Amino acid sequence: MDANDARFAHMLHLASKRTPDNAAFSPPIVNTSIYALPPDPSGIYQYARWGNPTWTAVEEALGVLEDAEVITFPSGMAAIAAVFYALLKPGDRVLLPADGYYTTRICADKYLAPMGVEVETVATAQLGERDLAGYRLVMIETPSNPALDLADIAAACARVRAAGGISVVDNTTMTPLGQRPLDLGADMVVSADTKALNGHSDVLFGHVAARNADLIGGVRDWRRIVGAIPGPFESWLGHRGLETLEVRFARMCASAQAIAGRLAAHKAVRAVSYPGLPSHPQHALAQRQMTSGGALIGVTLVDKAAAERFIAACALLRPATGFGGVHSSAERRARWGDQVAEGFIRLSVGCEPTEVLWQAIEQALSA
Ligand SMILES: *Cc1c(COP(=O)(O)O)cnc(C)c1O
């Protein structure tokens, strides 16, 4: 039996054990700002900036999947910022992926650098050759976004640890079912649960996971003090989305694998980047550290016009930024200034039945 499967099944049955009579399958949405307190208050339910039972429900569920303590946030960026601000002080050096989530770099340049944190970047595919000594924090995002280059998590995290730094993996694209950075030696995981983990494109959400009590305690203190807290309803939505993650992600990744191979063989396609294809330069690494090739495919068409035409012509692709939802979507990334070809499209494969989706893609490519 697969350990991921066992964890997921266990996670599904946590919620039904929550209410006093074990009757409710879904966690309650607890809207409260204050709690009735005993003369000597203790625990987290003292004031609602400290704790909320709906957060507890989703954090326990995510904790089972991560096999770690989890703190949730109202967005992926709030989770990433919490790690930065809980860990970094003036004089520290941080290393960020040059080809990772853009707003992470903006956050560091605009707010950390002026406070005396030295911010450096490295391309994900080059992380293996980079000297990692002297960094307080090294952030890894693999597959990178949008080019889908990989970094060897186990090797990089071992080097960061040997040099006395802290490794943080942004695991948004793969989710804890697709890639397990903490098992591979990472100190912390951050995730934009806005994407595949929630999967329904109806809420922003995020989390931080760590097995080291000091590291996760620092993040919990940050949230309690600055108030970057998720709302109870958003937490409930995040939990509801999470409960179908396993079936959604399995469909999405299986479809992506099939469609990536067919795209690579299509005459209208210049290039395909997909970690699950043997043509990917780091395919062997993908097989070691990912449970699948993921749900994102990099597709390069001839030029900007061809890419825009394809997206507009495909009835089952909606042009959107963001990915990981049940509805397939696509985006020409050069429109955001990403260092990719003008005809490069990031295709996010959703939960549509595979052959129907492929037929729509093939028709749009031939149009
Ligand atoms: C979307 C995303 C984020 C930010 O998440 P938000 O919920 O939009 O704040 C961070 N990292 C990656 C890899 C993302 O894709």
pLDDT at 333: 86
pLDDT at 22: 67
3-class secondary structure per residue, the chain: CCHHHHHHHHHHCCHHHCCCCCCCCCCCCCCCCECCCCCCCCCCECECCCCCHHHHHHHHHHHHHHCCEEEEECCHHHHHHHHHHHHCCCCCEEEEECCCCHHHHHHHHHHHHHHCCEEEEECHHHHHHCCCCCCCEEEEECCCCCCCCCCCHHHHHHHHHHCCCEEEEECCCCHHHHCCCCCCCCCEEEEECCCCCCCCCCCCCEEEEECCHHHHHHHHHHHHHHCCCCCHHHHHHHHHHHCCHHHHHHHHHHHHHHHHHHHHCCCCCCEEECCCCCCCCCHHHHHHHCCCCCCEEEEECCCHHHHHHHHHHCCCCEECCCCCCCCCEEEEHHHHCCCCCCCEEEEECCCCCHHHHHHHHHHHHHC
Tell me the per-residue pLDDT of 282-323, one tens digit each, with 9 for 90 and over: 999 999 999 999 999 999 999 999 999 999 999 999 888 889
Q: Whose CA is nearest to atom 8 of ligand 1?
A: 76
- Collect the ranges in the chain with pLDDT lower than 70: 15-20, 22
Does the predicted model carry a pTM greater than 0.75? yes
pLDDT at 16: 62
Nearest to 137 by CA among 106, 111, 114, 170: 170
Cα 168 to ligand 1 centre (Å): 14
Residue that has been written with the tokens 């934009």 in this structure? 192
pLDDT at 299: 97
pLDDT at 15: 67
pLDDT at 18: 66
pLDDT at 356: 98
Rounded CA gap, 101 and 79, in Å? 13
Q: Whose CA is nearest to atom 1 of ligand 1?
A: 192
pLDDT at 14: 85
Pocket of ligand 1 (CB under 6 A): 75-77, 101, 141, 145, 170, 172, 192, 194-195, 204, 206
pLDDT at 65: 97
